[in-house]
């Protein structure tokens, strides 16, 4: 068991930041991640959307790009 990779989702860890970012994106796109969050004109997130969005957010957090205008 010592070979298993541990994931620590602590405050301000890349995983936690990615998770919060995914929730922000979902709200902007009117996508309900939790069943109770479904509001009029919102769509329910499916498994594929959640996994894809979290993967994209985690990548963005771990590999930030410097804006071109900053050199």
pLDDT recorded at residue 45? 93
Greater model confidence, 66 or 42: 42
Give the number of other CB atoms < 10 A from CB of residue 31. Answer: 20
DSSP at 37: G
Q: Are 36 and 1 in contact (CB under 8 A)?
A: no
The per-residue pLDDT of the chain, averaged, comes to 85
Residues 5-26 have a mean pLDDT of: 85
The separation between CA 36 and the C-alpha centre of its own chain, rounded to angstroms, equals 19
The secondary structure element, H or E, covering residue 7 is none
Determine if the pTM surpasses 0.85: no
The SS3 assignment for 59 reads helix
Residue 35 has pLDDT above 80, yes or no: no
């Amino acid at each position: 068991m010592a070979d298993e990779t541990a994931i620590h989702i602590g405050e301000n860890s890349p995983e936690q930041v990615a998770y919060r970012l995914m929730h922000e994106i979902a709200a902007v796109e009117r996508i309900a991640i939790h069943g109770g969050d479904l509001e009029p004109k919102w769509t329910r997130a499916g498994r594929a959307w959640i996994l894809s969005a979290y993967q994209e957010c985690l990548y963005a957090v771990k590999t930030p790009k410097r804006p071109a205008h900053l050199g």
